[in-house]
Structure 1
Amino acid sequence: MPNATRNLDGYNSPPIEWDAVEQQLKTNVPQAPGTGGPSRHTAWLTTIGASGVPHVRPLGVVSVDGVWYFNSSAETRKSRNLAHDGRCVLCLATDPFDLVLEGTATRVTGGPELDAVATALADDWPCEVDGDALTAEFSAPSGGKPPYYVFRMDPTTVYAFGTREPYGATRYDL
């Protein structure tokens, strides 16, 4: 439950109800073409480089028990950025609203949490736990080589932007 909610809509639309946002956060959305809006569910991650320059890339995400996770090759810029500064923004285009999660990404290095993420990812990506990361025969074309680190997104602020009636825009401070 949010500590504070603020309606950002300038057209007198009602605030988007937190229960609907929370339900969407708990839903694992497919990312294949034709499976969401606009025409697919798309996730984007923004990290901060050591020089302060933002870095934005699309990536695969999975929700496990309402917590969002993503993976990144150890050799990618986003992994290096997160090792330097865990603050990030995860954006997800869904239906009935787009979500923006601001917070911190924390690397998951083992135990039941890593196992649960690997199991959830395996529906779309045949990966397996290998020590404190994941391994797989393939990844996204720009995804780099294994090992693939797993990160948990711990949001401090969530924004919901309506993509259909009654639209609306709402901020939730967690």
Structure 2
Amino acid sequence: MSEPTSTKNLDRSGSAELPWSRARDLLATQTPKENLTFFVGTVRPDGRPHAAGVGAIWVDGVLYFKSGPGTRRARNLAANPACTVSVRLNGIDLTMEGEARRVTDPAILERVAAVYRDGGWPATVDGDALTAPYSAPSAGPPPWPLYRLVLERAIGVASAEPYGATRWDFTP
């Protein structure tokens, strides 16, 4: 994952711009070990928004999440890969924008499955997707396709010192 190509201080109370490293390092240390809920926002075919909680992880500078193939999220992403992913990390609320791309590379699938296992979810690779003895009830039966977020923009609002609000733009 690259560093931001531009940043903008969104804080109107005089706080300094937040460094991307603050959000990035929290993603790296808090996933998948912390009990975090990520929310993926997608767009329905009729243009209405859809959001759902998902177990996501940050691996080697990339955010990954899975989705049951029959879920509204997966159907929306198949028609329009634009999405948002939001999470409350320790001391910073983070919203990321970009496109979800399906991951089928066996080496990446295995690497992500290993990180999920390290975090306590017994994921394994099944063809070009992930499987496990259990998942969220709304995910449907395995295997579950894996997606990576191609990050285009992120917005962080600090809820702990040092306070601030910043937008980071990335070149995908």
Deviates more, 1:122-131 or 1:147-156: 122-131
When you count helix as a share of all residues, which structure comes out higher?
A: 2
Instruction: Tell me the distance in 1 between the aligned counterparts of 2:9 and 2:142.
Output: 43
Unaligned runs of at least 5 residues, structure 1? none
**Residues 73 and 148, structure 1, Cα contact 8 Å, conserved in 2:** yes
Instruction: Tell me the distance in 1 between the aligned counterparts of 2:97 and 2:144.
Output: 22
Deviations 1:102-161 (A, max 9, x none): 000000013211111111112321121110111122111222111200000111001111
Which residue does the alignment assign to 2:19?
Answer: 17
Q: Within 5 A, what are the aligned runs for 1:17-166?
A: 17-30=19-32, 35=34, 40-123=35-118, 124-166=120-162
Letter matched to residue 24 of structure 2: E
TM superposition shift of 1:50 = 1.2
TM superposition shift of 1:68 = 0.6
Instruction: Tell me the distance in 1 between the aligned counterparts of 2:112 and 2:12.
Output: 39
**Residues 27 and 58, structure 2, Cα contact 8 Å, conserved in 1:** yes
**Residues 8 and 166, structure 2, Cα contact 8 Å, conserved in 1:** yes
Q: Identity of aligned pairs, percent?
A: 41
Instruction: Tell me the distance in 1 between the aligned counterparts of 2:37 and 2:151.
Output: 18
Letter matched to residue 20 of structure 2: W
TM superposition shift of 1:169 = 0.5
SS at match of 2:115: helix
TM-score by length of 2: 0.91
Instruction: Tell me the distance in 2 between the aligned counterparts of 1:18 and 1:63.
Output: 14
Letter matched to residue 111 of structure 1: P
Deviations 1:23-44 (A, max 9, x none): 224334246xxx5xxxx52211
Instruction: Tell me the distance in 1 between the aligned counterparts of 2:94 and 2:68.
Output: 24
**Residues 98 and 161, structure 1, Cα contact 8 Å, conserved in 2:** yes
